[in-house]
Chains A and B, each alone.
Chain A
Amino acid sequence: MSRITAGIDVGGTFTDLLLQDADGRVRLAKVPTTTANQADGVLAAIAAAGSSPAALDLIIHGTTATTNAVLERKLAKVGLITTAGFRDVLELGRRTRPNPYGLKGTFEPLVPREWRREVAERMDARGAVVIPLDEDAVAREVRALLAEGCEALVVHFLHAYANPAHERRAGEIARSLWPNDYVTLGHELLSEFREYERGTTAAVNAAVQPVLDRYITRLQSQLAAQGHRRELLVMNGNGGTVPARLVARQAAKTVMSGPASGVMAAAATLAQSGLRNAITYDMGGTSTDVALIAGGVPEVSAELSIAYGLPIHLPMVDVRTVGAGGGSIAGIDRAGMFRVGPESAGSLPGPICFGRGGTRPTITDANLVLGRLDPARLLAVRDAVPMETVRAAFAAQIGAPLGMSLEQAAEATLRLANVHMSGAIRMVSLSRGHDPRDFCLFAFGGAGPLHAVALAREIGIPMVLVPARPGLTNALGCLVADLRQDAVNTLNRGLDDISAEEITQTLAAQRDRALAVVTADSAEVERTDVLHAADMQFRGQTHLIRVALPRIDMTRAEIQAAFESAYFARFQVQLPEIRAVLVNLTTTVIGRRRAFPLSALLDPAARVGEARVGERDLYAEGAWHRATVWQRERLAGGARIAGPAIIQQADATTVLEPRSEAVVDAIGNLRITVQP
């Protein structure tokens, strides 16, 4: 079957496209993101790749529409119907503050108090009715919220995960009155205990649903107007996709989908490289995203937050954001201590070299001063700042007070930044029970490859992998993504209190529900994989361990044994005297799409001319070196480059420090060995 498929990712700055032609060849495009209507940028990207919507058989789309809507609070007016006595749950949260120190900061709930309405009803923790549902009150409050101008509605009742009958009935009443489809029932999205997290997840869903629905509808119709006849697939934060007509129903799943696609691309790259463990390292201007891939599978978490007080407890690729990027500022504090970050110049005013008014030296400026970035390329901006201005800033603001040369000051900036990043990466991996030294560092994004070798050396990681197209990783994530659905049910009972039948039935029901969604677009799916797992703990603990369940008809003894061995693997502790508790049962259904051969990203036609394009002065380890400069696109498989060297390409620059060596592998990755 010859098909033309496009992966299109809308990021904060650029809209990226990777298009696979019927003959397997690949076309690329990078155009500015159109903030007002992202659809315009998507169409521009298709045109820039020399294609048209009519020619495309399938578009897989990653969007930041919902992420931006939440962060900028450009959300729908949401009303809430909830259990009497509990309307403030979404505002009270769980007794936190934004920072460990300092009693400042504010929090505005997604649904203001005047639109949170209570109705009489109550279930207990076992799902038995304590107070019957007041159906008249539901109708009355729904009408009142409509009169207030609410566009979306959440129905969220206590213990609905244990028995959703009241929530379902209230939902029926609400849907019969509500003029659109934007009614979210808390348990439908997430059937897990913890009322604040479940309710907030539902509120996020309702608040972005109209935003996403309008955007996807507009995009579909703009594509259709230009002759596209198929349905889009849209990326979710779990690293999988869903058909466009279903995506708005669970709109909250698209929040945080951008970073997830990068990690999915990394996982696909690793798989085709014969590798299994990686820490993904995506450094941008203001922050850095880090994720773990262990045994070929990206780590998933259902406990992420999009911002303070806004947890979204849906299974998502566990991407952690570290607040350090190219714009992090170097300076000296009031006590004369040298510091890099946490203050950032961001993108405005940005680094000095951007010429937007920045006056304080940043990590990006240090890269420029040390010859790691090409001044000729970076300074090709509208209001170019003379190199001397950047150098003078390091000399005056850091070098002079600390008694260093300006080069030493700039190198110290990178070194301290790497020390902080190394610490942050260690904490991310330790919190998941891993030693980062057992992983390779998968570097992408604009600035990842620039620092990866030095960072790997600081952490003690022996190998860095830079994929063929580090600047198009998110679009690649769309192109390689499979369809995916996750389901969770909370049991939270001792394993010996649960019958094997109940486990089997719950998992089978989860599987059937998820399969129905994944196979809705059966043309795309080559085969389906069903994965079951249990989240378990010892009685008295709060941390959960995820235990894979290879079959749905496992006996309790088999589950107990699987839990104990997973626990031992993580903590090296055996606790046979304490009861095991089964907290959640989960099922993931993955609809596998045709694999995308990454070697297609290599363009043999570009391999013309000498790969070695020159030499440049590079400052590293306290001295200037004459570094070789290479054009990445011209490197053939098997090529070997020893540091110090610089490998440049359209979308990124890779720096090989002294005592490191890169080899180009069969699918175009740079595999860099880093000596201590």
Chain B
Amino acid sequence: MIDALTLAVIQAGLQQVCNEMDITFSRAAFSPVIAEADDRSDGIYAAEDGALIAQGELGLPVFVGTMAHSAAHLVRLIGEGAVAAPEPGDIYIVNDPYLGGTHLMDVRFCRPFFVEGELFCWLQNTGHWPDIGGMVPGGFSAHATEVEQEGLRLPPVKLFKKGVLDREILSIIQSNIRVADQRIGDIKAQAAALLVGEARLSEMVSRYGLATLREAIAGIRARAAERMLAEIRRIPDGVYVSETFVDSDGVVDAPLRIALTVTRQGDELVFDLGDSSPPCQGPMNSVWATTCSAVYLAMKHIFPDVPINAGTFAPLRVIRPEGTFLDARYPRPVSGCAAEVSQRIAEAVFLAVAQALPAEVWAAPAGTSGNFALGGFDPARKAGYVMYQITGGGYGGTAEADGLTNGCSTIGISKTAPVEVMEQYYPVLFRRFAIHEGSGGAGAQRGGFGVHYEVELLRGEAKASFVMDHGRFGPPGVLGGGEGGKNIVKLHRNGSTTIPLHLSKDQGLQLRAGDRVEVMTPGGGGYGNPRDRDPALVARDVRRGYYTPDQAKALWG
């Protein structure tokens, strides 16, 4: 029997291997999405079934659990002879959403780890590439109706064969993506991270021996399951129901419903999403791996101290929602799944579990990544450009405090770029970057505020695209709290103002110099009855201009 200290030391060691892969990847990466925004994740997966052994603490939350799905598919395909068997030094590349992925921009590298000629585990990472081809730069289309329009889809193939980069596969990739010349920097960084993982894991193998490591990995998994179980046992037996809505799929102007039933059944927490809307025409479908991961990441937000491995999620049973837009199959478009749909699923989990553990869970957060892309040609620099502006929004109120203002998306950890940096790189001028006044949902503890910005095109022509959400309904409050302010997009063109048909999603909107785009992101939902709020705080919020006197009167009476 392995002793408690060795178990704890090996757990810390495996965690360290993953953290060092995370930091290596970010430090060496080229694209800001990875280097600055940390839109990546690294982990270790079981040889036989791809089960998660350990995952870096610095990885993007949306990748919690997704790579286990892709590792499982890889193991299956190798077993079926559909993919060549691994050899030392190989690295598989894959981004197929239907093979345990997210959107096409999330590219996974998977490296076999051999000990004395035998496959011991997989080292794997995901990095969000800034472009993967497809109909819009950056990949966030609002109008795609099949996955082929969204970009290059790679099945698992060996990009590195026995340590050597396959230049032929590389040239196929580079011929199909934008800004291809800089991608070699990211590819080298992504591979280097796995090499660092291999070196550190080898040190652990020689220090503890294979038998001890195997036993420890099993022990750690069992303890993580115990730990999660201890948390969910605090949830009273019962059924908790919630629903959330995606504004539209970007193609058909009708809301998509996520219907969640959470049931505490003995030592299991069961998540049933089966009554959700059917698959949609536009890109707001989610694939199974992402849907599953969205539930996991929501639970990790609720219980942040539980370590992440396959055991953590064992007591959580997510029923595969077949026939819904949350289990999309080829060729459904899926580019909205990681950034938007996953956040609506997490929101449904928050709203359901808040009923069971009201002291610990918050009202709904803004829950959109706020993707706004502007692509055009700058006549002054004689060059094309693609500008991305992402934004946060308000968090929901909690039992203790008002929600945070301009919090990061639920699924992300990345900072936004400063206005001064955006204006250096692109022919735009921000007319304001401010609090979305009045957007915090009313409650005993109100929601945090969203952002209100307005950006003007200075030169040339450009096309604007948006993939946002919560334009139709604001983020809900809990325990009597009101909903947060909605997401609002306005285009001021040639003296007139328009609102996109789908409110929060559109693409290819033509802009000329002097035209402006105005965006207000959602505020967080309120927590508890607004009448229970300290009147002094209401007065303070009015004094600060967070609400007009009329708004405050309407919301708090």
Q: A residues engaging B (CB < 8 A)?
A: 84-89, 91-107, 112-114, 122, 124-125, 130, 158-159, 161, 193-197, 332-339, 402-404, 412, 415-416, 419-420, 423, 426-427, 430-431, 433, 492, 538, 540-543, 571, 573, 575, 577-578
Contact = CB atoms under 8 A, between A and B. Distances in A.
Contacts of B301: 101-103
B223 A85 contact: no
A85 B430 contact: yes
A302 B203 CA distance: 35
B7 A338 contact: yes
Contacts of B58: 100
B362 interface: yes
Nearest to A431: B23
Contacts of A130: 429
Contact of B406 (A93, A122, A412): A93
Interface in B215-236: 223-227, 229-231
Contacts of A124: 423, 429
Interface in B1-36: 3-5, 7-9, 11-13, 15-16, 19-20, 23-24, 27-28, 30-32, 35-36
Given A415-B9, A540-B31, A573-B185, A194 B421 contact: yes
Interface of B: 3-5, 7-9, 11-13, 15-16, 19-20, 23-24, 27-28, 30-32, 35-36, 57-58, 61, 179, 181-182, 185, 188, 223-227, 229-231, 300-302, 304, 350, 362, 365, 390-392, 395-396, 398, 400-402, 404-408, 410, 413-416, 418-421, 423-424, 429-435, 451, 454, 543-546
Contact of B434 (A88, A338, A404): A88
B12 A420 contact: yes
Contacts of A403: 3-4
A206 B418 CA distance: 22
A103 B362 contact: yes
Contact of B431 (A85, A125, A492, A573): A85
Given A101-B304, A416-B9, A540 B30 contact: yes
A355 B496 CA distance: 73
Contacts of B546: 113
Contacts of A427: 19-20, 23
Contact of A103 (B5, B365, B434): B365
Contacts of B231: 334
In the complex, the 7 A-B pairs of residues with the closest C-beta atoms, listed nearest first = A85-B432, A335-B226, A95-B392, A334-B230, A335-B227, A101-B304, A113-B544
A106 B188 CA distance: 39
Name, among A103, A161, A195, A426, the residue most crowded by chain B CB atoms within 10 Å (CB to CB): A103
A333 B19 CA distance: 22
A114 B406 contact: no
Main secondary structure of the interface of A (DSSP, over half): loop
Contact of A339 (B8, B225, B398, B414): B8
B391 A95 contact: yes
A538 B418 CA distance: 19
A225 to B, nearest CB: 44
Nearest to B306: A335
Given A85-B430, A103-B301, A430 B23 contact: yes
Contacts of B225: 335
Given A335-B224, A542-B32, A578-B181, 18 more contacts: A85-B433, A86-B432, A87-B434, A88-B433, A88-B435, A89-B419, A96-B407, A101-B61, A101-B304, A103-B407, A196-B418, A338-B8, A402-B3, A402-B5, A404-B4, A416-B9, A416-B12, A430-B23
B182 A540 contact: yes
Contacts of A420: 12
A114 B405 CA distance: 16
Contacts of A112: 544
A113 B396 contact: no
B9 A125 contact: no
